[in-house]
Each structure stands twice: as C-alpha cells, then as structure tokens.
Amino acid sequence: MISKLIEQIKTKQAPVVVGLDPQLSFIPEQILNKYYEEKGYTLEAVADAVFEYNKGLVDATYDLIPAVKPQIAMYEQFGIPGLIAYKKTVDYCHEKGLVVIGDIKRGDIGSTSSAYAVGHIGSVKLGDQVIKPFDEDIVTVNPYLGTDGVKPFVDVCNQEDKGIFVLVKTSNPSSGEFQDRTVDGRPLYEIVAEKVVEWGNESMDGDYSNVGAVVGATYPEMGILLREIMPKAYILVPGYGAQGGSGKDLKGFFNKDGLGAIINSSRGIIAAYKNEKYSSFGAECYMDAARKATEDMLQDIRENVF
Amino acid sequence: MISKLIEQIKTKQAPVVVGLDPQLSFIPEQILNKYYEEKGYTLEAVADAVFEYNKGLVDATYDLIPAVKPQIAMYEQFGIPGLIAYKKTVDYCHEKGLVVIGDIKRGDIGSTSSAYAVGHIGSVKLGDQVIKPFDEDIVTVNPYLGTDGVKPFVDVCNQEDKGIFVLVKTSNPSSGEFQDRTVDGRPLYEIVAEKVVEWGNESMDGDYSNVGAVVGATYPEMGILLREIMPKAYILVPGYGAQGGSGKDLKGFFNKDGLGAIINSSRGIIAAYKNEKYSSFGAECYMDAARKATEDMLQDIRENVF
C-alpha cells in the first residue's frame, strides 16, 4: 500500500493529506439547516450534512492531494448515523482515486486488535462471501499494549496490501507526559520508534514499509531524530497549521529522496472559510476557501521542504 | 456513576462483569444459520445473530451480575451492521437494569477525545434536542496521549454522571513492552496510575472516583501495588479465566472494604458451552452453560476474595 501512496504523492507533487474532521461548528449553516428542515434535529440530519460538507471539500481538492484522513471520532460522536457518513466518505474518496487514511487510533489485546484490523483494513469471510466492512487503505494504531496489540494489524497489512501508522510522538501539548519519559536514558517515543522499525521490517513494500509512524509537526527536533531511527517508515505528521506547525519546521521529517513524510492539515483547510485570511470566500463557498488553503499549504511545503 | 455500580455489586454480591465479546466462532451455528438463510451471507445476518446470541446471554445472567462489558471491536469488525448490534446490546442491557461498560479504549488529542466522549458517554445538542448517541455508562480510555487526551472524558463524567476506566497495566503477554519500562526507577504503569489518581480527584462520587483503572488479572503482584497507589480508583480486572487469571490471584485488587475491583470474564462465560467442563449443555443451551459458568466464577471469587 505505501508504494501506492508514494506514487500518488509523486504524481501530484504533494506530500500532504487533508483531514476530514467534520466538527459541528465547521459545517456551514446553510448545509445544516437544509437537513434540519428535512429531518428535524436528528443525528440523521447531521450525518447527511456531514457527508454533503465532505463531498464539497473532496470535490474541491481531490486533484491536488494524494490522500485524505477522516478522523473517525468526529463521525462516531454522531452515533450510528455518523458512522454511516464515515463509511460513505471513505467510499466517495475511493471513487475520486484518493488513498484513505482512517484515523482510528485503535489498539487492544491480540484477538481484539485482530477484530479491529478485520473491520477496518481486512475482510470478513462469511460462507462464500468476502466482505470488507470499512475498507480504509491505511489506519492509525495506538501502541500502548505492545507487540501483540500491533501485530494483528501488520498481518492484515500483508494479507490485504494495506498500511498502518503507529502513534510514536503525538502533536498535542501533553503528549510528553508519558511519551517523553526517560527509559534507559532515552525518551519512550524512541523505544516505540525502534519497535516500529521491527514491525515494519515484516511488511516492506518497495523502499518503504507499510508500517509507518505518527510524529507531530509541533515537535520538529524530535522529528529529525525519529527520521533517523526509522529510515524506512513513512511519517504521518499532524499538527500543521491550526495546531502550530509550519513549513519551515517540516524539512527534518523527510528523507534526502524528498519522500518519507506526509503532512496533515485538518481544520486549517476544511474550516478555512472561518479563518480571516480566507473569509472573503464566505460560508457558501467554503469549498473554494478549502482549495485555496490547500494550494497555499502545498506552496509552503514545496518551498520549505524541497 | 461509580456509586451506582457499587450499589449493584453489593446487592448482587458480585464484583464481576460479563464481557459480551461475540467472536464469530462463539456464536452457535443454529443462530448463525437461521439468519444466513434469511439474509444470506451478509454483515446484516451476522449482526442479527450477534444480537440474538447476546440476548440469550443477558437473559440467562442479568440477575446474577451488576454489569456487562461489550468489547466494541467485536462489533466494529462487522462494520455498520455490527455497530447497530452493539447499540442494540447497550440498550437491551439497560432495559435489564445492568451497568454497561463500553470497552472502547479510545484516546486522542483533546478535541478528538471530546468527540469520543460525547459520542459514547455524553450528549449532542441539536437545536432543542439533546441526543445520547451510544449512551454507555462507563467506557475504557487509552492514556498514551496524556492528560489532554483523558480530561475531556473526565469532564463528560462530571457533566453526565458517567465513568471511565483508564488502561494502566493491560492483561496481554506483551503489555510489559512499554508499560513496564523503568522511568525514574519505577515502571511506567505506576506513573500512569499516579495520573489516574490526579484525574480521579476531579470526579469523586462517594468513597470512590468515577475515574477507575484497568489492571490485568494476569499480573496479580502489580495489582497489589497499584491498589495502594490508587486507593479511590475502582479497578476493572480483565484476564480472569481464559486469559489465565484465577480467583486466588484476585484478593490484592480489592480494598479492605471488599470493594474497589470488578473482575471481567468474557469467553470463559459467553463461550462456556465450548469448554469441556460445560460441554454437556451443548450449543443449543449455550445460555445455560453461560449461567453455570457465571455461578462458578462468582463462587470462586467469593471464596477467594472475601
């Protein structure tokens, strides 16, 4: 799978991913009101609004980007109807040729991680039928339970040509509370990174592994070090833009081949119309604001990284 | 919420929880075949079978136990239909008066954890409507992202009188890979346990906190120590039975008041009919096997713990 993502990144000269994280406050009122009028104040109405909002964002940006990253929590917050909108979003992005990174951050004991892997990147065999329940291309995985919580995902990556990004150093302010604690003279995230290398060796796909890592843009100095520890792991970098990271912080996440990292922006793009810089587009043209913000992000990254 | 759980535990003299983790191989063939004939080899058929299987288990055990713990991965593996069966299971268990612990192990950056908290233990406000999407009573939370990934759950616990169990030391074989690493001369799980105390102080409900911890039955010596570090935290103890823990390992997880811990068994109860000891019940009477296994577990715990 990672080779498919790399091909798309090269074709579009865009090591970026748009985070489809539809918080209620991001969805323009004209879309919400349309569905409230039709279906009342229901989860079904919000879910329809979420999907229409996403569709606008995808239609406006798919030719510029290789991949999207829907954050499943933003759908799960709306219950079953929200998760139906998640699945429709995954399918629609596939129709548009995008690689879909499901930001699910799952991880559990072995048999349970197996179930998550089957549901999101694998298939269920029932009689003569093979069914792919969610069918993302890549998912994010939480490593707190250790190898037997991660390996079931790696096994499915190998069976189905899929990928995972394992949380190593997250972008949030308190990520250091546990991740930075010193173990044998080194921070815990380095120990996790070494395991990512070990797991990744079992799922190579060309020059890179299907097992990548998440390292926040907000910690660029750690990115440089982690880049060295995990030379074959693709790094998914959240925290660009709204969370504080910028283009000049990003060079260290990339290898000398110009590959090895993919930068995520969520609200900076999908809620660009709420940002003063893009406010002239207005809520009606939220998708055009998103396209302009994507173009600006691409320019920032191309100028600073290559 | 923890006081409600404690009341149920006292009334039923049962510090146990049944894990409703419907793996495909656990569901008796007569149930699966009924729905395959009706709906073909589809996720919808499996989801209906899952719910009927769960209903049998709940009907056979609800008078003996205070709580159930559905593992959401086992439903999520069957996509949207599976998650509908999860929600139906939560609702049915509430009808039967059970406390529902959603084993979801979510955890993310702040705004994303907020969305998970809203979806599972909180409510969405839409116009004049307040909707509780999944409406479990308590959920499990992964602490790898630190305080800002856990606090949104604690806030919702306080707003809605709900609870969480934070992963401290999990029951699986490789849990030690990161959780046992030495930080400032102590294992990481102790550092996490101290944070559980800190978070828990903000959500007291009687003698105990709404913020509890997960500590595996497979590590009883660590249970004794963690019990001391977190005197006001309820400990959810997985790994009893099939994963290797037994009654005599459990005393250390409890406080001197006989409270403070709740022991989970999943496959040991729900798939009891597949165990030689209970095989005389047969697949047709899987629910009676489950009841007998629950009674035996209760006896084991009452004898060894009190």
DSSP state string for A194-247: HHHHHHHHTTEETTEEEEEEEE-TT-HHHHHHHHHH-TTEEEEE--BGGGSB-G
Quote the pLDDT of residue A241: 80
CA distance A134 to chain B (A): 6
Minimal Cβ distance to B175: which of A105, A145, A192: A145
Nearest to A204 by CA among A238, A172, A231: A231
A43 contact residues in B (CB cutoff 8 A): 124, 126, 131, 133
Catalytic residues of A: 105
Minimal Cβ distance to A127: which of B41, B110, B147: B41
Minimal Cβ distance to B178: which of A113, A170, A188: A188
Nearest to A190 by CA among A171, A172, A213: A213
Q: Quick check: A255 pLDDT over 80?
A: yes
Mean pLDDT of B87-105: 98
The helix, strand and coil proportions of chain B, stated in percent and rounded to the nearest 5, come to: 55, 20, 25
Quote the pLDDT of residue A246: 78
Per-residue pLDDT tens for A87-133? 999 999 999 999 999 999 999 999 999 999 999 999 999 999 999 99
Minimal Cβ distance to B147: which of A43, A107, A177: A177
B87 contact residues in A (CB cutoff 8 A): 79-80
Q: Quick check: A260 pLDDT over 70?
A: yes
Minimal Cβ distance to B73: which of A46, A115, A127: A115
| SS3 category, B209 | strand
Dihedral sign from CA coordinates of A283, A284, A288, A294: positive
Q: Which candidate in B29, B84, B124, B129 is best for mutational testing of the A interface (most A CBs within 10 A)?
A: B124
B109 contact residues in A (CB cutoff 8 A): 170-172
Q: What CA–CA distance (Å, rounded) separates B58 from B55?
A: 5
The number of C-alpha atoms within 13 Å of A189 and in the hemisphere containing its C-beta is: 24
CA distance B200 to chain A (A): 17
B105 among known catalytic residues = yes
Mean pLDDT of B80-89: 98
Q: Which candidate in B50, B86, B174 is best for mutational testing of the A interface (most A CBs within 10 A)?
A: B174
Nearest to A27 by CA among A56, A1, A7, A65: A56
**A77 and B133 in contact by Cβ < 8 A?**
yes
Alpha carbon of A20 to those of A53, A161, A219, B113, B161: distances in Å?
10, 23, 23, 16, 31
Average pLDDT, chain A: 96
How many interchain CB pairs under 8 A, A with B? 214
- Reported as a pLDDT band with limits 50, 70 and 90, residue A305 is confident
Please state the pTM of the whole predicted model. Answer: 0.97
**A133 and B79 in contact by Cβ < 8 A?**
yes
Dihedral sign from CA coordinates of A288, A291, A293, A296: negative
Q: What CA–CA distance (Å, rounded) separates B193 from A180?
A: 17
Nearest to B195 by CA among B222, B157, B167, B218: B167
- Kindly write down the DSSP assignment for every residue of A84-146, as one continuous string: HHHHHHHHHHHHTT-EEEEEEEE--SHHHHHHHHHHHHS-EEETTEEE-SS--SEEEE--TT-
Active-site hit among B88, B105, B251, B274:
B105
Per-residue pLDDT tens for B150-178? 999 999 999 999 999 999 999 999 999 99
CA distance A221 to chain B (A): 19
Q: Which candidate in A69, A111, A191 is best for mutational testing of the B interface (most B CBs within 10 A)?
A: A111
- Reported as a pLDDT band with limits 50, 70 and 90, residue A53 is very high
Considering all CA atoms of chain A, what is the largest pairwise distance in Å, rounded to the nearest integer?
A: 60
Q: Quick check: A205 pLDDT over 90?
A: yes
Cβ A72 vs Cβ B133: under 8 Å: no
ipTM of the modeled complex: 0.97
Mean pLDDT of A12-19: 97
Q: What CA–CA distance (Å, rounded) separates B266 from A111?
A: 12
What is the percent of chain A where pLDDT is above 90? Answer: 94
Look up residue B224 and give its two tokens.
Answer: 């004794």
Look up residue A34 and give its two tokens.
Answer: 């349309």
Quote the pLDDT of residue A242: 67
